[in-house]
Chains A and B, each alone.
Chain A
């Protein structure tokens, strides 16, 4: 018997608006507690929500980005529950009529295949505040800075069967929203939070099992682990003949386990009803078309263009389009050097490795796209060997920007002058008759080994600056 995981995702995206969804307070992260609050955020009597239309625009952009149907008329509802960080005692959300309806989002998998995920809906809602347990001894503080921050909750159908699919979806979603500029996608600051609904069933079964909801897994790193651990737990229960309880569970990465938060059965009847303080949101075709016209190229389109027009592999195209900054950097490099494959190799290779090592973002790195393109141009015209290119790259990383100046300064010019190399090769052959004899007597495969000696000597003679391909060719010609 094999168990199959069935998963659906709810991702909360914090929309990158200047002010909150229903008040003029700032949404900037990291202010002193309760500094970004006004009477509405504190739910003082008599205050009323006023919709920030920037949040609506960003939700529409998302809907267009995943090719979803848009709700021409959407509404806000009240979701009622008591919690200290929920000042009104209800959360304003869209329950009955969400702004974004069904869509299909194509997720590129690492093997280059496409995994289509059905989006069920995406709706606007406000975030809650935060309980602070360590600021005041023996008491809990409430910080309402985050309360009222606009969220877009993206809900999928239960289409996921493996943790890899989940991770690929989240990465693609992250890429999409950062491309679209609707969210900074910053998981550490909570701009992208993921809940996984997970159940098990025996392979081949049609019915879904009882699911649990894994809440707020805030890094890509933990997701796979959380899924693994929870699936194991459910499997143990099922195999020992017990039932899975439908409940919300929290992944504790330190203890490497999931823990029950609250049981949905006993807890919450949210008593949703339309919020009478807010008017329906009407989105007309004109608005949709105006927003559509301003959309940037989406990752999927870019990916297709990279493979079809630039000849990149699916794999490279997927990696390059994972975030907009990388894709745009790559495109600038490729356009200037006219060698997309090499540009891709550099961006995904040395550039990416250096960024990881130094922990800086591409946009903050000292490396310019023009300089990298110039470097590739000098490799392609034979000026630089790949070894030399690394030296130049290191200099660029240190802040230099003029590739030719670096080559000049470091005396790195590769000798591609046939005349100069011919002299070196002729001298070499004249001075090493024994080796020449041995080479000429050897068969093809032996020759391949023996030629190394000549290449090494010639390189030495040229102080490492001989163009290796040219050198090889000359040696072969002269030795045969």
Chain B
């Protein structure tokens, strides 16, 4: 098995040159999933038959002259995206048997680009979590060390790409759910500007922050895939009509003279010292590329987590009201009346973290606490967004760590709920402000991957992608593969 750690770009060349077929590639990937997934639990639904059929169609299309850059390349979707052909569970008992009658816009676009869907990835239930441990289908493991978490909520996607199950997976990021697992698994993940990618068909968690993006080995791959995912959608009114740039074409644009802001608040006591060391080294590398590092300040960084954990649960509490046992999804057995149907269906169908956030959300929105909590949080959100905008008017990109720690242990009972929420401390700002941000492999701390975060201006994906790409031209962190033993 030699192709499992190839990039999308490399596979594309091989496919174009006729060195391999999509069917071969897909079969290899399916075999690797069969081999490694029992240990990783990264993939929670797949259909070999459908994948092979899609690969055959792609090979045929190529013979007919179709040369789409993504044609025939296998990939995985986070199980938050609705797919007609596979269940969409959001890793919840509530939707364990749910089949969507339609494809999410992201799924449709990548399908139209000729990508081959291998299956769906594990995740934290309804994308609520930073460790993938809240999944109804069990925790997913980090391929770098299977006693550790892959991060979350897009933990399955990150684990799968890191383990070479697929060159690409989609993820979603509401408070860091692409960047933190990408960092913990040593892959490259991009959360686009809010409104860059359609949310249609993506099961909603916190609608004002949810954003889909690619998780891959390199910035170049993220660029290729983002271009196919992004763009206006009449089915999502918050999705921007702004033209989608040819991201890949700009990857080698000059970066010399670019100004990169380093917020001092990102190097606080929250940051693990070994992670800090790795990030500082990576920042020096940026400097070596001719980039000018500038000290900046985002004074409200420490307020981000509390702000986020008011707004996101509030929106979630409404978004998850539709799971009521009436029309689809889990319904309790023998409900005695309407109240009982609601109570038991929702109590039994949701996991603890989901219920916790619904309760927090219902509380902060209640008439008695709305002004104190929800309104206040909206004000702080605007203030944080303003701080980012101010800094980004002086620098082109903000850089720092993606997560305060490297991958932590599974079932770590010493980690409180709020410790877990602090995992998002550096990533949340970009969600509150709606900015594009990515995580790039930038070193190791205790033999575990560390991710550097790059945050750009609104719709400034080109800036962070070219910086990440040229960083990857000079470093090899993204080429490291986890010490996984193949069983067969």
In the assembled complex, the Cα of A82 lies from the Cα of B235 at a distance in Å of 26
Question: Are A46's CB and B207's CB within 8 A?
Answer: no
Closest B residue by C-beta to A83: B338
Stretch from B148-156, B265-273, B359-367, B470-478 contacting the other chain:
B359-367
Other-chain residue from A44, A47, A273 in contact with B365 (beta carbon distance below 8 A) = A273
Closest A residue by C-beta to B322: A43
Question: Are B102's CB and A39's CB within 8 A?
Answer: yes
Neighbouring B residues of A47 by C-beta, 8 Å: 200-201
Q: A87 near B: Cβ within 8 Å? A: yes
- Number of B interface residues at 8 Å Cβ cutoff, please give it: 44
Stretch from B159-167, B323-331, B422-430 contacting the other chain:
B323-331
Other-chain residue from B201, B206, B328, B342 in contact with A46 (beta carbon distance below 8 A) = B201
Neighbouring B residues of A80 by C-beta, 8 Å: 317-318, 321, 362, 365
Given contacts A43-B327, A277-B207, contact A48 B236 (CB under 8 A): yes
Closest B residue by C-beta to A142: B326
B56 to chain A, nearest CB (A): 29
Closest A residue by C-beta to B367: A269
In the assembled complex, the Cα of A89 lies from the Cα of B319 at a distance in Å of 8
Q: A361 near B: Cβ within 8 Å? A: no
Given contacts A45-B90, A46-B200, A273-B374, contact A82 B365 (CB under 8 A): no
User: Which A residues between 33 and 61 are near B, CB-CB below 8 angstroms?
Assistant: 39, 42-51
Other-chain residue from B100, B207, B318, B368 in contact with A45 (beta carbon distance below 8 A) = B100
Neighbouring B residues of A90 by C-beta, 8 Å: 318, 321
Neighbouring A residues of B98 by C-beta, 8 Å: 45
Closest A residue by C-beta to B104: A46
Neighbouring B residues of A84 by C-beta, 8 Å: 324, 326, 338
Q: CB-defined interface of A10-49 with B at 8 Å, one 1/0 digit per residue?
A: 0000000000000000000000000000010011111111
Other-chain residue from B101, B237, B318 in contact with A278 (beta carbon distance below 8 A) = B237
Given contacts A90-B321, A276-B207, contact A51 B327 (CB under 8 A): no
Interface residues on A, range: 20 to 34
A124 to chain B, nearest CB (A): 15
Q: A88 near B: Cβ within 8 Å? A: yes
Question: Are B321's CB and A44's CB within 8 A?
Answer: no
Q: A413 near B: Cβ within 8 Å? A: no
In the assembled complex, the Cα of A84 lies from the Cα of B370 at a distance in Å of 26
Q: A303 near B: Cβ within 8 Å? A: no
Neighbouring B residues of A193 by C-beta, 8 Å: none
In the assembled complex, the Cα of A271 lies from the Cα of B373 at a distance in Å of 12
Neighbouring B residues of A121 by C-beta, 8 Å: none
Question: Are B82's CB and A82's CB within 8 A?
Answer: no
Q: B95 near A: Cβ within 8 Å? A: yes
In the assembled complex, the Cα of A143 lies from the Cα of B271 at a distance in Å of 54
Given contacts A80-B321, A84-B326, A276-B208, contact A46 B82 (CB under 8 A): yes
Closest B residue by C-beta to A78: B318
Other-chain residue from A48, A51, A78 in contact with B200 (beta carbon distance below 8 A) = A48
In the assembled complex, the Cα of A269 lies from the Cα of B101 at a distance in Å of 34
In the assembled complex, the Cα of A84 lies from the Cα of B327 at a distance in Å of 9
Neighbouring A residues of B206 by C-beta, 8 Å: 276
Q: A237 near B: Cβ within 8 Å? A: no
Question: Are B237's CB and A276's CB within 8 A?
Answer: no
Given contacts A45-B95, A80-B365, contact A279 B338 (CB under 8 A): no
Question: Are A279's CB and B203's CB within 8 A?
Answer: no
In the assembled complex, the Cα of A56 lies from the Cα of B82 at a distance in Å of 31
User: Which B residues between 79 and 107 are near A, CB-CB below 8 angstroms?
Assistant: 81-82, 88, 90, 95, 98, 100-102, 104
Question: Are B100's CB and A276's CB within 8 A?
Answer: no
Q: B124 near A: Cβ within 8 Å? A: no
In the assembled complex, the Cα of A80 lies from the Cα of B95 at a distance in Å of 21
Question: Are B365's CB and A271's CB within 8 A?
Answer: yes
Other-chain residue from A87, A273, A277 in contact with B322 (beta carbon distance below 8 A) = A87
Question: Are A269's CB and B366's CB within 8 A?
Answer: yes
Q: CB-defined interface of A142-166 with B at 8 Å, one 1/0 digit per residue?
A: 1000000000000000000000000
A53 to chain B, nearest CB (A): 11
Q: CB-defined interface of B322-353 with A at 8 Å, one 1/0 digit per residue?
A: 10101110000000001000100000000000
Closest A residue by C-beta to B329: A45
Choose among B202, B322, B366 the residue with the greatest number of A CB atoms under 10 Å from its CB.
Answer: B322
Listed in ascending order, the chain B residues whose CB lies under 8 Å from chain A are: 81-82, 88, 90, 95, 98, 100-102, 104, 199-204, 206-208, 234-238, 314-315, 317-318, 320-322, 324, 326-328, 338, 342, 362, 365-368, 370, 374
Listed in ascending order, the chain A residues whose CB lies under 8 Å from chain B are: 39, 42-51, 78, 80, 82, 84, 87-90, 142, 269, 271-273, 276-279
Q: List 5 A-B contacts (CB under 8 A).
A: A45-B82, A46-B88, A84-B324, A271-B362, A278-B237
A80-B318, A89-B320, A271-B370 known; 8 new pairs, CB 8 Å cut-off, are A39-B102, A46-B81, A46-B100, A50-B234, A87-B326, A88-B318, A89-B321, A269-B366
